[in-house]
Amino acid sequence: MSFHFEARFGAIGGQGIITAGAFLATAAIMQGLNAVQSPTYTSQVRGGPTKVDVIISEDEILFNKATKLDLFLATAQRPYDLYYTDLKDDTLVILEENLVKNVRDDGRKIIRVPIIELAEKEIGLTVTTSVIATGIVVAVTEIVKPDLMKEAILSRVPKGTEAINIKAFELGYEVGKKYR
């Protein structure tokens, strides 16, 4: 069977999670894989629940909706509650530990990380939350090469923010390595 990976990132609109999905899909394509991302957000873009599904595969992707998640990441309670679906028995769940408190105890591996606190205290910018989360995902799953993820980030961030975004990715990556 060929390689196939499905991830879902759930957040509050404005946290940059859809951009994080774009980073991951871009890095996978740079690595020679097929990838699609499917964002979903409410009419209340800022502050409303939002998610992005990313599918990465060696094979052609014929259906762009995730149906059997390998990874679910949530940075707030409401997106966790809304988008906690389509999980496999061995889905890895990564949670923002300060904002996702009510968690299902269904036997899945859960990693709790203070992602927003890291963005605020270590980087000094909450807007880097999604880049830190991306670093954690890359470190834990080894789904794409870190150098390709950095290239993907650099290809999509606003001019003048490259250094801070790479610093945020590297922070997330270092934190994520602890959970491999």
Q: Which helix (H) or strand (E) holds 78?
A: helix 77-83
- How many angstroms separate the CA atoms of 152 and 63, rounded? 23
pLDDT at 44: 57
Angle, CA 175 vertex, CA 174 and CA 178 arms, to 5°:
95
pLDDT at 30: 97
The domain segmentation of the chain, as residue ranges, is 4-177
CATH 3.40.920.10 is held by the domain 4-177: yes
Residue 169: burial class (beta carbons within 10 Å; 0-12, 13-18, 19+): buried
- pTM (2 d.p.): 0.94
Structure tokens at 60: 């052609």
- How many angstroms separate the CA atoms of 157 and 161, rounded? 7
Encode the chain (180 residues) as per-residue pLDDT tens digits: 689 999 999 998 878 889 999 999 999 999 999 999 999 876 555 678 899 999 999 999 999 899 999 999 999 999 999 999 999 999 999 999 999 999 999 999 999 999 999 999 999 998 899 999 999 999 999 999 999 999 999 999 999 999 999 999 999 999 999 998
35 forms bridges with which residues in the sheet? 56
pLDDT at 27: 98
